[in-house]
């Protein structure tokens, strides 16, 4: 096993660290021979914290990717992987020529969709900053289901044709979707970023959507009082939106972002929620418009990276044997 790259990650990479920030590290390795042959996406995560409580400033999280696992995530536009490709000299702990090649060619991983980045931003916007149109779309689906759901046990696929008329900004119908980097070949309805496969019972979807509506209602009331709001999550959503906006406008971005001071204020809860809500909603609208006009490719042309991977592994295997 050989290390290709290690960097500080999270707030210590973004430049938004505070005195209470924990430490995160990410690395890329050439894995052992068995993993190279099997092409399993070798990943190892460790944390000194526990699964119940939030990390403290004394906790350390580490995550390590195999080279081919890193590349597969990069092709999918994974937000954490894109962030790694912007590691600064200050955050970099260990580097190799192989890593420098990836970093120098990072813009080749950008596409007009940037689906993971946009999806992350939208999920946070949906969680905390629902526009009335989002709730309207959910209620429109619920109203339609009440009319056509049929007898108990009816599944989405049984009434799917009648549901197509519900398509809008926050209701989509897809042939499948990616889950943890793998394609799930199941037709689904997507309502405000939540996916409902065509085999699901209508009653279960209704239950889920009703919980979503109830959750948004209580969350909105708390948000008006700046209570119960995860400002750390919101600052990450804003950061991601600024990054994808820069990619779509300038073709790249660098840390620290010019909005870093503002992001720290958001993270510390020093910016009213209502203001953050406006910034996020405006950013989502802007990104949508920029994506439609973007000249970036629809998908990553991975030939150069696949050849690079084979070259690196061949050289390593020669030394290994």
Q: What is the pLDDT of residues 254-290, one digit of tens each?
A: 999 999 999 999 999 899 887 888 888 788 888 888 8
Q: What is the CATH number of the domain that holds 23?
A: 3.30.460.10
Instruction: Give the CA diameter of the chain.
Output: 68
Final residue before a domain boundary, out of 224, 250, 284 = 224
95 shares its domain with 10: yes
Q: Which of 191, 209, 224 is the last residue of a domain?
A: 224
Query: Same domain for 12 and 92?
Result: yes
Same domain flag for 139 and 217 = yes
164 domain residue, yes or no: yes
Strands, sheet with 188-191, edge to edge from the N-terminal-most edge strand: 171-174, 188-191, 194-197
Domain assignment present for residue 251? The answer is no
Coil, helix or strand at residue 313: helix
Q: Which residue, among 270, 272, 300, 240, has the nearest Cα to 118 in the 3D structure? A: 240
Helix, coil or strand: residue 274: helix
Report yes or no on 14 lying in a domain: yes
Place of tokens 């600024």: 242
Confidence of residue 52 (pLDDT cuts 50, 70, 90): very low
Establish if 312 belongs to a structural domain: yes
Residue 20: DSSP 8-state:
T
Does 36 lie in the same domain as 88? yes
Answer whether 0.75 is exceeded by the pTM: no
90 is a domain residue: yes
Same domain, yes or no: 55 and 156: no
- Is 55 found in the same domain as 12? yes
* Number of domains present in the structure of the chain: 2
Residue 50 has a pLDDT of 44
Residues 68 and 147 in one domain: no
Residue 258 lies in a domain: no
Residue 53's pLDDT band (boundaries 50, 70, 90)? Answer: very low
What Cα–Cα distance (Å) separates residue 276 from each residue in 205, 220, 239?
A: 30, 13, 12
């Amino acid at each position: 096993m050989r290390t290709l790259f290690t960097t500080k990650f999270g707030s210590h990479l973004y430049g938004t660290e505070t005195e209470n920030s924990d430490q995160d590290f990410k690395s890329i390795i050439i894995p052992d021979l068995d993993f190279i042959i099997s092409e399993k996406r070798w990943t190892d995560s460790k944390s000194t914290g526990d699964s119940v409580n939030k990390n403290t400033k004394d906790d350390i999280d580490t995550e390590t990717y195999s080279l081919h696992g890193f590349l597969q995530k990069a092709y999918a536009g994974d937000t954490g992987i894109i962030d790694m490709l912007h590691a600064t000299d200050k955050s970099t702990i260990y580097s190799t020529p192989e890593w420098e090649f990836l970093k120098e060619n990072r813009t080749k991983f950008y596409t007009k969709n940037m689906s993971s980045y946009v999806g992350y931003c939208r999920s946070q916007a949906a969680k905390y900053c629902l526009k009335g149109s989002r709730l309207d779309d959910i209620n429109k689906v619920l109203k339609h289901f009440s009319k056509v759901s049929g007898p108990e046990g009816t599944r989405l696929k049984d009434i799917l044709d009648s549901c197509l008329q519900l398509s809008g900004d926050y209701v989509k119908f897809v042939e499948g979707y990616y889950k943890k980097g793998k394609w799930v070949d199941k037709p689904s309805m997507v309502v405000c970023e939540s996916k409902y496969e065509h085999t699901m019972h209508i009653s279960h979807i209704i239950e889920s959507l009703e919980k979503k509506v109830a959750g948004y209602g209580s969350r909105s009331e708390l948000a008006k009082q700046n209570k119960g709001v995860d400002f750390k999550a919101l600052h990450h959503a804003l950061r991601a939106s600024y990054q994808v906006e820069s990619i779509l406008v300038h073709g790249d971005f660098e840390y620290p972002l010019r909005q870093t001071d503002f992001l720290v204020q958001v993270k510390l809860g020093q910016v009213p929620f209502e203001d953050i809500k406006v910034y996020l909603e405006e950013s989502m609208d802007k990104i949508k418009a920029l994506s439609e006009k973007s000249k970036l490719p629809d998908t990553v042309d991975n030939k150069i990276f696949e050849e690079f991977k084979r070259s690196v592994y061949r050289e390593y295997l020669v030394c290994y044997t």
